[in-house]
Chains A and B, each alone.
Chain A
Amino acid sequence: MLHIYCPHCAEYREEEEFRPKGEAHIARPVEPEATSDEDWGNYLFFRKNPRGLHHELWYHAAGCRKFFNITRDTVSYQIHETYKVGQQPSVTKQASSSKGAAK
C-alpha cells in the first residue's frame, strides 16, 4: 500500500482513499478549432507510459475530493513528491540528469 501525502489535507493517507487519473500536465489546445485532427487525437488519447520517473494526476476520492499531482517512479513505485495542480514538479528527469552530470 502506498502512503500518499495529500497537499490539500496536508497529511499522509492510505492509497485506498485515492484514485489515479493518469498522466499530469496535459494542456488542452488553446484553439481547438485550429487544431489538426492528429494533434487533437494526441491530446485526447495518447499518453506517456514511461519506465521510471512519471508525473501523474491523482484524486483524493474519499478525503477532500481535490485533484493533485504525484511524481512517482513506475519501476520502484517510490513517490518523490506530491504537489497541487497549477504547480510544477521539482523532481524531473532533467533535474535528476543534470544532478548526475554535476557529480
Chain B
Amino acid sequence: MSEIAQMDLNPRGAVKSESPLAMARVNVALASSARDAGVVVREKPFLGHLVLRGNAQDEAFRGGVERVLGLALPLALGPVARDESRGVSIQWMSPDEWLIVVPAGLEFEAEAALRRELSGHYAVMNTSGGQTVLELTGPKVRELLMKCTPYDVHPRAFPVGKGISSVFAKGSAVIRRVDEERWELVIRRSFADYLYSWILDAAEEFGVFVAPAEPAGSAERRIVREVAVEGH
C-alpha cells in the first residue's frame, strides 16, 4: 500500500471525450464492405492503459499483479498475457516494464487495486489518454505490416500471441498478433493521426475498410469490472 494520491483522469461523461482519431479524415478509396477488404481497420478507443514498472525478480510484486489482474506477469519478450473474455492483457515491454490494457473506464480501479496490492519500489502510470488501439484484421494485414515496420512479421518470427514494439512508419508502435489474421497496434496520441493516414494509404492497394469503433458499453463494462477487479 503506497501513500500516493491517485487521480481519476477519466472525465466519465462530464466532459466530452475524444479519441486521438476524432479529427482523422479518410483520404483513400474504401472497399464497399469488410468482406471485400484485404485489411479492416477499427479503432478500439478509450481503453484503460497502464504502464507498470517493478522488479520482476520480486515474488511479492509478481504475486500482487497476478492477484489484481488474474494473469501471470510475462517475464520475457514473447506472448502477451491475455484474457479475452475480461478484456485484460499484460505485455512485457522491457525487463522492468509492462503495458496493461483493461476495458474502458476500468483504469482507475485497476490502478487503485495495484496500489493496494503492491508495495516497495514500483510505479503505475495511467497513460489511457496518451494512446489508442487500432485493430487490423484481414488476409492482407501481414503484407501491410511488411510495408510499415522493419520487424519480421513472418509467423516464424511473429507467432500468434506475441507482442513487441518497434519502428513503425518512421514513428513507433506496439505491435501485437492476436490471431492469424488479427493484429493490434498500440499507438501514441501525438502520432495517431499520422499513423492512421499512413496505414490507410498503405492498405489502399489491398482494399481497406474502416469499421466503426468498438463501443464501450456501460452495462457490459460493469460485468467485466466485477470479474476483472472485484472478483479477486
Residues of A within 8 A of B (CB): 8-11, 13-14, 16-17, 62-66
The interface of chain B, by Cβ under 8 A from chain A, is 76-77, 93-95, 97, 150-151, 164-167, 172
Q: Does A63 contact B150, Cβ atoms closer than 8 Å?
A: no
Known: A9-B77, A17-B166. A64 touches B94 (CB 8 A): yes
Q: Is the CB of A13 within 8 A of B77?
A: no
Nearest-Cβ distance from residue B73 to partner chain A, whole angstroms: 16
A63 near B95: Cβ-Cβ < 8 Å? no
A62 with B166: in contact, given A10-B76, A14-B150, A16-B150 (CB under 8 Å)? yes
For residue A63, which residues in chain B have a CB less than 8 angstroms away from its CB?
94, 164-166
Are B167's CB and A16's CB within 8 A?
yes
Q: Is the interface of B mostly helix, strand, loop or mixed?
A: strand
B164 cross-chain contacts in A, Cβ below 8 A:
9, 63
A9 nearest CB across to chain B (Å):
5
Residues of B within 8 A of A17 (CB): 150, 166-167
CA–CA, A63 to B77, complex, Å? 10
A95 vs B28: C-alpha distance when bound (angstroms):
59
B150 contacts which chain A residues (CB < 8 A)? 14, 16-17
CB nearest neighbor in B for A6: B77
Specify which chain B residues have a CB less than 8 angstroms from the CB of A11 in the assembled complex.
77
Task: Given contact pairs A14-B151, A64-B93, enumerate 11 new A-B contacts (beta carbons under 8 Å).
Answer: A10-B76, A10-B77, A11-B77, A16-B150, A17-B150, A17-B166, A62-B165, A62-B166, A63-B94, A64-B77, A66-B95
Query: Are A62 and B167 in contact, CB atoms less than 8 angstroms apart?
Result: yes
Looking at the assembled complex, report how far the CB atom of A4 sits from the nearest CB atom of chain B, in whole angstroms: 12
Say how far A13's CB is from chain B's closest CB, in angstroms: 7
Also in contact, A8 and B166, with CB within 8 A (given A14-B150, A17-B150): no
Nearest B-chain residue to A66, judged by Cβ = B94
Residue of B nearest to A11 (CB): B77
* 12 A-B interface contacts by CB (under 8 A): A8-B95, A9-B77, A9-B164, A10-B76, A17-B150, A17-B166, A62-B172, A63-B164, A64-B93, A64-B95, A65-B94, A66-B95
Which A residues are in CB contact (< 8 Å) with B93? Answer: 64
